[in-house]
Amino acid sequence: MNIRSFQFQMHQKFMIPKVEKYKYIFALSDFLILLLSIVISTVIINIEFNSDFFGLLIDHNYSLLFLFSISFGLLFIFFVNHLYQINVIVVRAKHFSALLKSFWYFSIILLFFSLFVSDWNILLSLFAILNFLVSSIVLLYVLRVEVLRRMYLKLKNRHFKKNILIVGNGKPGRLLAAKFAFEDPIGINIVGFVEDSKIAGEEVINGKKILGRVDDIKELVHENKVDEVLIVQETNDYNELISLMERCQNAETKIKISSSLFSIIPQKLYTEKYADISVINVSSNYKNSNNLLFKRLFDIIGASFGLLLLSPFLMLIALIIKLSSKGPVFFNQTRIGKDGKRFMFYKFRSMYVADEDDAQRKEEMIKFMKGDLGLGSNKKVINRKRITWMGSILRKTSLDEIPQLINVLRGEMSLVGPRPCLPYEYENYDEWQRKRLNVLPGCTGVWQVMGRSAVSFNDSIVLDLYYINNMSPWLDFQLIMKTIPVMLFARGGE
C-alpha cells in the first residue's frame, strides 16, 4: 500500500475531509483577524471610557471564553455562507457580499443572545460589539478580498494547482477542458481523459489525451497524482450514469459530476462551480462506519428528546384526530427500508378510513414514477377527497410525520434520509432508483426540504442520491434546521 492510498483510507475511516491548502490559510487568517478585532475593540473602550475593560475580562475567565467563542462562531458562519469555496473567493463582488451577509447573520444572533444577558459589564457593551464588527469587516475585507484573493490568483498554478481527471470525452468533456484552458481563475490542471470507447494515447483537445479506461481509474489516479475525478458523460440514461459513477468511486480521491441529469441539485442546493459550470460532489460517504455510528447516536438522542418535548402537543393532536373523524389515531403501513427490508411505518391519520385499497391512486403513482402524468408530473399524487380538515393541516405542516420518531428509535429509520417507499413503488423502481435504499430512510431529507411536492419523481431520487453520497453529521444538522421553518410555515406540503 502506497502513502497516498494509506492517507485516503485514514481520511475515510476517521471522517477527516481532505481540505485544500488555501482553506487552511483563509481560516487561520480569519481567526487571527477576529482576535485582533477584539483587542482593537477593548483598546477603544479603554480610551473612550477610561476603564480597564481588558483587565475586567481577564478577571472573568468565562468572558474571555465568550470572546474566543465569538471568533469560532464567526468562522462557522463563514463556512455556512461558502466563504471557503474557491468560486466565491476569486470573485471580488461575490466574496464581499458573502462577507457582509455573514456579519449580518452574526449581528442578529448576537442581538438575540444579548436579550438573555443582564450583566453587560462582564460580557461586552454594545459599543464594544459595534467596534468589533466595524474593525472585523474592514480588516477582513483588506486581508481577504484584496490581499489573499490576489495572492491566490497569482500563485494558483504554482502552489494551489488542482489535478483533475475527466471521465468522458464527449462534447461536454471537451467544452469543459477548453474552458479550463482559456478561462481558469482557480488553478485547475486537466491531466487527461478516461474513456472506454477510445484508445489510450489518443489526443482529445489542447494536447490532453486519453489515459485509459474506467476500470483503470484507481491506478491512473495514483500515477498522475489526481486530486479529483470529474465525470462529464454525455448521456440521457440514468442507469448508465449511476453505473459509471459507482465504477469511478473505486478511485481513492474525490469524485464530482457535471450532468444535465443532475441539474435539479444546483437548482435547489449550493454547489461549487468550475468556470461557471456546476459540479456536484458524489464521493461515497454512506459506507463509513464511524459516520454511521455517529448518525445512529444522533438519531437516538434526537428522537428521544423530540418525543419527550412534544409529548403534550402529540396528545392534543391525537385527541383532535379522534374527535374530528372516525377511525384510529395512527395510520400504520408497510414500507420498504434499507436494502429492501420491510417495516411498519407510523403516521398520524390524515385521511378518512377507506374500506378498500385506493387502486386509482396506485395507478396514478406508477404513472408519476414513469413520468407519464403530463403537466402534472411534477406534483405529488394525492386523493384530496379523502383528506380530513385536520389532516390537511397536519400534511401541510408535516406534523403527521412526527410518530416516525418511533421508527427512528427502533432503528428502522433515521432522522435524515430518503423517504421510505411502498412495496408496489419498490417493485416499479428502475435499477438506479433502488440506490436510494442503500441507507436507512429518513423522517426528513434533501428533497423534502428543498423540493417538497414540486419536483418530479426522478429529481426526488437524484436529490436522495446526492444526500447519500454527501452524508455527514453536518449535512444532517443543516437539513434538520431547515426542516423546522418548512414545518412552521407549511411550505410545499400537501
In a domain, 484, yes or no: yes
Q: CA–CA distance from 91 to each of 88, 143, 150 (Å)?
A: 6, 14, 10
- DSSP-derived letter for residue 419 is P
Give the 3-state secondary structure of residue 415. strand
In a domain, 135, yes or no: yes
Q: What is the 3-state secondary structure (H, E, C) of 115-133?
A: CCCCCCCCCCCHHHHHHHH
Range of 177's domain?
Answer: 160-281
Least confident of 180-189, 231-240, 412-421: 180-189
Of 137, 156, 175, which closes a domain?
156
Rounded (10°) CA dihedral 429, 435, 437, 443: -100
Looking at the structure, tell me whether residues 106 and 75 fall in a common domain: yes
Which are the contacts of 180, defined by CB distance < 8 A and separation ≥ 6? 164, 188, 190, 274, 275
CA max distance for the chain: 81
pLDDT band at 53 (very low <50, low <70, confident <90, very high): low
Mean pLDDT, the chain, rounded, equals 83
Of 281, 297, 322, which closes a domain?
281
Looking at the structure, tell me whether residues 183 and 235 fall in a common domain: yes
Query: The whole model's pTM is what?
Result: 0.81
Task: Give me the mean pLDDT over the 459-480 stretch.
Answer: 90
Task: Give me the mean pLDDT over the 382-404 stretch.
Answer: 85
Of 156, 175, 192, which closes a domain?
156
In angstroms, the CA 49 to CA 31 distance is: 27
- Quick check: 416 and 286 in contact, CB under 8 A? no
Q: Tell which residue, 231, 278, 235, has the closest CA to residue 253.
A: 231
Looking at the structure, tell me whether residues 301 and 234 fall in a common domain: no
**pLDDT of 54 over the 90 cut:** no
In a domain, 346, yes or no: yes
Task: Give me the mean pLDDT over the 407-428 stretch.
Answer: 94
**pLDDT of 490 over the 80 cut:** no
Strand order in the sheet with 277-281: 203-205, 208-212, 188-194, 162-167, 228-231, 254-257, 277-281, 272-274
In a domain, 455, yes or no: yes
pLDDT band at 243 (very low <50, low <70, confident <90, very high): very high
Question: Could you tell me what percent of the chain has a pLDDT over 70?
Answer: 83
- Quick check: 8 and 253 in contact, CB under 8 A? yes
Looking at the structure, tell me whether residues 402 and 374 fall in a common domain: yes
**pLDDT of 315 over the 90 cut:** yes
Q: Which three cell numbers stand for residue 202?
A: 489518443
Which are the contacts of 258, defined by CB distance < 8 A and separation ≥ 6? 172, 176, 230, 231, 232, 274, 277, 278, 279, 280
Query: How far does Cα 274 stand from its chain's mean position?
Result: 18
Looking at the structure, tell me whether residues 242 and 133 fall in a common domain: no
In angstroms, the CA 493 to CA 382 distance is: 11
Give the 3-state secondary structure of residue 329. coil
Least confident of 11-20, 304-313, 385-394, 429-438: 11-20
Q: Which three cell numbers stand for residue 402?
A: 412526527
pLDDT number for residue 48: 62
Looking at the structure, tell me whether residues 169 and 90 fall in a common domain: no
pLDDT number for residue 473: 84
- DSSP-derived letter for residue 436 is G
In a domain, 483, yes or no: yes
Per the structure, how many domains does the chain have?
A: 3
Most confident of 28-37, 64-73, 359-368: 28-37
What one-character-per-residue DSSP string does 354-402 give?
-SS--HHHHHHHHHHHHT-SGGGTTS----GGGB-HHHHHHHHHTGGGT
- Quick check: 123 and 66 in contact, CB under 8 A? yes
pLDDT number for residue 382: 66
In a domain, 61, yes or no: yes
In angstroms, the CA 436 to CA 339 distance is: 9
Give the relative orientation of helices 92-114 and 61-80 as an angle to the nearest 10 degrees: 140
